[in-house]
Amino acid sequence: MLKAEPLTGHIGAEIVGVDLSEPLTNTLGAALRQALARYLVLFFRDQTLDLAAQKRITAVFGPLMRIPYVEPSPQDPDVIAVLKEADERDIGVFGGDWHSDFSFLERPPAGSVLYAVEVPPYGGDTIWSNQARAYDTLPDDLKALVDSRRAVHSGAPYGKAHAPEDPQALSRSIKMRRGDPEADRETLHPAVRRHPESGRKALFVNPIYTIRLEGMSEAESRPLLDRLYRHATRPDFTCRVRWAPRSLAIWDNRMTLHYAINDYDGHRRLMYRTTFAGERPG
Ligand code: SIN
């Protein structure tokens, strides 16, 4: 049966004794969903998977979902190839800031699956931060601020109104559609959301996509959001994963933020990423 070895006291577990290339039984699927609700990030080593197998695993957690603004892999429209080539230096990477995925959508993804194909000899780790723990430990004034308040999200990097003035050049190996006014549409979500299965409450603000708090201007919101982000990304709430070829991570996008560390110029990194759908945050 499934054995989970915690990576830290608050988030992440390595799952051992499971071969994900084998057909997934209902019992194993239920155990994996339970483990994800508990640890928020599951990590597996030495898995030999093709894209069809990765999609089967993804579907255990929710319906496969295609994400907007990012060109999928030519091999499969449900897959994004997260790639940086060895000759791409001093540029940004996909996911290279603290964020949860696509929170500006009415129904942001419930989670994602990332499979390592080629990794640098050092660096290129990914970090996740537990936003349930962040919520539980918020100072009283910040808790009072976010409880019962909504935050306003927009697809800032892909739109016009909130596009960064001087965006860092991004890896040519991942194609994004930018400057689309449709991405400026504002979506309001509770700043604290509840996990539909575990019932845990988590802070739900996003350094990339949250533009302000409801009832406040951007200028009024800025210092408060900055305080929330500083707290949300405290190292105490995080786990950091060192990739090897054929490692796989599954994460809960409702209860975590994540960050792809861009510290491996001169080396190639290729990961396949799939996404599973979620509900309207509540
Ligand atoms: C992402 O999905 O944000 C990218 C994660 C990574 O490349 O480590």
With a cut of 80, say whether residue 171 has pLDDT above it. Answer: no
User: Strand (E) positions, 45-93?
Assistant: 80-84
Ligand 1 pocket, residue 260 CB under 6 Å? yes
Confidence of residue 209 (pLDDT cuts 50, 70, 90): very high
Residues 7, 262: Cα–Cα separation, whole Å: 22
Q: Is the pTM of this model over 0.85?
A: yes
Dist. CA 99 → ligand 1 center (Å): 10
With a cut of 90, say whether residue 172 has pLDDT above it. Answer: no
With a cut of 70, say whether residue 207 has pLDDT above it. Answer: yes
At 191 the pLDDT is 98
Using a pLDDT cut of 90, give the percent of the chain over it.
86
Q: Which tens digits make up the pLDDT trace of 225-244? A: 999 999 999 999 999 999 99
With a cut of 70, say whether residue 175 has pLDDT above it. Answer: yes
Ligand 1 pocket, residue 95 CB under 6 Å? yes
Confidence of residue 11 (pLDDT cuts 50, 70, 90): very high
With a cut of 70, say whether residue 167 has pLDDT above it. Answer: no
Q: Which atom of ligand 1 is nearest to the CA of 124?
A: 8
What token pair was written down for 119? 């990794």
- DSSP H or E run through 112: strand 111-118
CA dihedral 88→118→175→64, nearest 10 degrees, is -160
CA dihedral 103→104→110→113, nearest 10 degrees, is -80
Best probe residue, ligand 1, of 41, 112, 114, 269 (max atoms within 8 Å of C-beta): 114
Q: Which tens digits make up the pLDDT trace of 49-92? A: 999 999 999 999 999 999 999 999 999 999 999 999 999 998 88
At 169 the pLDDT is 73
Average pLDDT across the chain, whole number = 95
Contact 278, 110 (CB under 8 A): yes
With a cut of 80, say whether residue 273 has pLDDT above it. Answer: yes
Please tell me which residue in 189, 212, 258, 269 is annotated as part of the active site: 258
Q: Which tens digits make up the pLDDT trace of 83-134? A: 999 999 988 899 999 999 999 999 999 999 999 999 999 999 999 999 999 9
Q: What is the DSSP letter of 74?
A: T
At 61 the pLDDT is 98
> Would you call 273 a catalytic residue per the annotation?
yes
> Would you call 10 a catalytic residue per the annotation?
no
Ligand 1 pocket, residue 119 CB under 6 Å? no
Ligand 1 pocket, residue 102 CB under 6 Å? no
**162 or 41: which carries more pLDDT confidence?**
41
Residues 4, 197: Cα–Cα separation, whole Å: 19
Domains and CATH numbers, the chain: 3-276 (3.60.130.10)
Dist. CA 217 → ligand 1 center (Å): 31
At 71 the pLDDT is 93
At 161 the pLDDT is 82
